[in-house]
Amino acid sequence: MEWEELGGVIVNNRVTEEIIKITFGDNWLIAAFVFVVAVSAIRFIRKNNLPKYFRKCLIVCVCAIAALIDSKFFQWNEYLGALRIRKVFPLLLLTVIVVTIAIFIYSYMKNDKQLKYVIKNTESDGNIIKAWERLQKIKTINLTPWQKRQYDKRRLYLRVMLGNMCGAEQELKKFENDKAFYHFTKAIIFNFRGNHKDELEEEKIAEGYCDGDTDSFLHFQIISNRGAGYVGAGEYSLANDWFKRAIDFGRVNNVKAPDLWLNLYYNYVFNKTRLNLDISIQECIDMLEEVKQYIDIEDPKQYIGYRNIVIQLFRQKKADKMQLNEIINQDFEYLVNTNLTDIERCVLEATTARIVCTGRLNPEPVIEKISKDVELFL
């Protein structure tokens, strides 16, 4: 027998030829096709850091498709029942491909559903504890690169919201190459720690890294937060300039973020009351009217956000109690009859009761509604 050393492994040429012949018959092109596709698939998987289940699915599909192309994949003609096997074989391979693709789609959709649940519960009215618990159950090895990035961002965000700043700083190291996001998040961490000087410095750095390729949503947040940072530092005039810049940027880039728009106008309008102590309620409300073009005022949650700002304006400017009482009760009556869930309705009733009691307003409408939902509070 002839033996040869190939890549540090001793192989027998004749045995190798026989194995290839048995596997692929006389069609060497199929052997070359399988080799090239397999190598390309492995390089593609490693380069893009694809999840483990995707690697397995892709390799199985490549092998199955190669087998379907070559009708001589099995040379079993001399065995009993070989003809029957060769007729059924393509159907079996097709089944393998379909099942493999189905597994891939199921795994992707399952992970996507988990991430959407986490994202939903990290919003302003979500349950961050449930979001964190669900995030812990996700296996990162099965995430696509895009899903993994979303996973890392939500994990970072939840650590900040839960007050774990040391853990958040560790998570933030994964984003050192994304300069704008990295410094913006550092600014948020400094804000939670009450360090407004370093917060402003990080926001300046984050703004410096923003360019035409920066995500408009992130850039909008950075500009808005710079204004809020100046408010915290007592620089109300500078804050006003940055709030105006944020409004212009959001309008030009058509940013769709109702919560951010409401927060921006809340800061903008109340900062105006600091710059001009004699500003009237009507002037503030006229400015606040602009935000309606960026939100869906018919949506109960967004309507609540908008009207809460109006109510706080009335309270801060010490408006007439009769007028404030009329506004609160009208809004309350409208909202409780909208399409709110039980939990949302109870939160609305409890919040309204708190406002009414602290403002010494007429409590009868809210007490009447709470009495009907008393079992939900228990």
Question: What pLDDT shows up at residue 222?
Answer: 93
Query: Distance between CA atoms of 373 and 378, rounded to whole angstroms?
Result: 9
Question: What pLDDT shows up at residue 219?
Answer: 93
Collapsed DSSP state (helix, strand, coil) of residue 70: coil
Query: Distance between CA atoms of 311 and 319, rounded to whole angstroms?
Result: 10
- Domain residue limits, the chain: 3-106
Check: CB of residue 111 under 8 Å from CB of residue 147. Answer: yes
Residue ranges for the chain with pLDDT beneath 70: 1-35, 37-38, 41-42, 45-93, 123-126, 373-378
Q: Residue type for 184, please?
A: F
Give 4's strand partners.
11
Angle between helix 145-161 and helix 128-137 axes, rounded to 10 deg = 140
Query: Distance between CA atoms of 241 and 66, rounded to whole angstroms?
Result: 64
Question: What pLDDT shows up at residue 48?
Answer: 65
Query: Distance between CA atoms of 33 and 20, rounded to whole angstroms?
Result: 13
9-12 and 3-6: which strand pairing? antiparallel
Question: What pLDDT shows up at residue 99?
Answer: 78
Question: What pLDDT shows up at residue 364?
Answer: 78
DSSP state of 355: H
Question: What pLDDT shows up at residue 325?
Answer: 77
Query: Distance between CA atoms of 74 and 108, rounded to whole angstroms?
Result: 34
Give 5's strand partners.
10
Question: What pLDDT shows up at residue 138?
Answer: 83
Give phi and psi for 176, each to the nearest 5.
-60, -30
Give phi and psi for 103, each to the nearest 5.
-65, -45
Question: What pLDDT shows up at residue 206?
Answer: 92
pLDDT digits (tens, 9 = 90+) for 132-152: 888 888 887 777 778 888 888
Quote the radius of gyration of the chain (alpha carbons, Å). Answer: 31
Query: Distance between CA atoms of 269 and 310, rounded to whole angstroms?
Result: 10
